[in-house]
Amino acid sequence: MPHRLFIPKKKSRSAVLSLKSLFIANLLFLSLVLLRLVSLNYVDFKILGFATDIDVQSLLNDTNNERVKAGLTPLKLNEKLTKAAYKKAQDMFNDNYWAHIADDGTTPWDFIVGENYSYTYAGENLAKDFIKSSSVVKAWMDSPSHRENMLNSHYVDMGFAVVNGRLQGEDTTLVVQMFGTPDTNELVSKSTERTAENMREPDVSVNGSNDKKVENPNISNETEQFYVQPTNSSNNDIITINMKYAIYLGYGILIFFTISLILDGFIAFKQKHLRLTGNTVTHIVLFVATLFFVYYLKHPIIL
């Protein structure tokens, strides 16, 4: 019967805790950890460290659902803010930093203005290492400062970027979320100018962004978050490993053997078995510590 595999003998542990079983389990777990830590790159093929289930539409829907729950108007997905978010994500990868403001002083607002989006209010949120869209939005909502950005009544538009890359020596997924409210005064000014010129096509040599009101914008707060979404590659030489399932399997292995150890120690104690095998409590502590290690190995972060 299968349950006999969990019953210890007088002088030895249960079958599932035999040296052979533990060796196989440790070998499998070590392989999962190595896949989590290492990205193998060769000339003929490349294995990415992980894959995510994050998409812009889900982020947009989840964000707007939270706003509707709070009695606020849903935000519109804006192409300019989306481009600004993508360029911010690329800038973090290229310059290898994880912050709202780059080492050279570049701010999120520089990317927004760079896309000719004049604003009176602007904000941004950042996240990395997440696997699911819902987890990203939940983390932002659980953070007071990020929640303030998400539920700011001044915002009208929103943009997202989801990008895979290598940051600070680790493969990761960056998520960039940008908020904005157009400068209506400038829109009215442009409309009046076009009417006076009989709707003449604008001169491309005009310095559009330099005349925008960006010196003293009403910024929601310092919390800024960028969302990066992995893009589908048409290259046949890229094999994507979804590490979500690998990590879940690792958790399952650890939890299984931890429970087996607890059961083994409990039965041995009740039946007063005297064994020369290792200390059960020590092994349980070791397995639990390993669980925490795996959890914090690449824990999602918001900024």
Domain regions of the chain by residue span? 56-195, 234-302
| Residue 255 to residue 262: CA distance in whole angstroms | 11
Angle 54-58-59 (CA atoms, 0-180°, nearest 5)?
80
Give the pLDDT mean for 121-135.
90
pLDDT tens digits, one per residue of 16-58: 666 667 677 777 767 766 665 554 443 333 333 444 678 899 9
Res 54: pLDDT: 87
Q: Is the pLDDT of residue 232 over 50?
A: no
Segment among 33-47, 82-96, 171-185 with least mean pLDDT: 33-47
- The residue written with tokens 């908020």 in the block is 179
| Residue 86 to residue 163: CA distance in whole angstroms | 8
Q: Is the pLDDT of residue 196 over 70?
A: no
Q: What does the block give as tokens for 51?
A: 């894959």
| Residue 264 to residue 260: CA distance in whole angstroms | 6
| Residue 107 to residue 32: CA distance in whole angstroms | 38
Segment among 134-138, 142-146, 190-194, 295-299 with least mean pLDDT: 190-194
Report CA torsion sign: 60, 140, 121, 84: negative
Res 127: pLDDT: 92
206 to 84, 115, 119, 211, 268: CA distances (angstroms): 21, 15, 19, 10, 84
Q: Which of 30-39, 127-136, 156-165, 260-269 has the highest mean pLDDT?
A: 156-165
Question: How long is the chain?
Answer: 303
| Residue 220 to residue 112: CA distance in whole angstroms | 15
Give the pLDDT mean for 255-269.
73
Give the pLDDT mean for 212-235.
37
Q: Is the pLDDT of residue 218 over 50?
A: no
The answer to whether the CB of 25 falls within 8 A of the CB of 17 is: no
- The residue written with tokens 């607890």 in the block is 262
Res 88: pLDDT: 96
* Nearest Cα residue to 52 out of 177, 227, 234: 227
Res 99: pLDDT: 92
Q: What does the block give as tokens for 282?
A: 């020590």
Q: List, in sequence order, every beta strand (DSSP E) within the chain.
A: 46-48, 76-77, 119-128, 157-167, 170-182, 218-219, 225-226, 238-240, 301-302
Selected residue with higher pLDDT from 116 and 268: 116
**56-195 topology per CATH:** Pathogenesis-related Protein p14a (3.40.33)
| Residue 255 to residue 260: CA distance in whole angstroms | 8
The answer to whether the CB of 81 falls within 8 A of the CB of 159 is: yes
Segment among 162-171, 216-225, 263-272 with least mean pLDDT: 216-225
| Residue 98 to residue 168: CA distance in whole angstroms | 8
Q: What does the block give as tokens for 23?
A: 């060796």
| Residue 110 to residue 200: CA distance in whole angstroms | 29
Segment among 6-10, 77-81, 222-226, 254-258 with least mean pLDDT: 222-226
Res 245: pLDDT: 59
Q: Is the pLDDT of residue 243 over 70?
A: no
Give the pLDDT mean for 252-276.
70
Res 219: pLDDT: 35
Q: Is the pLDDT of residue 100 over 50?
A: yes
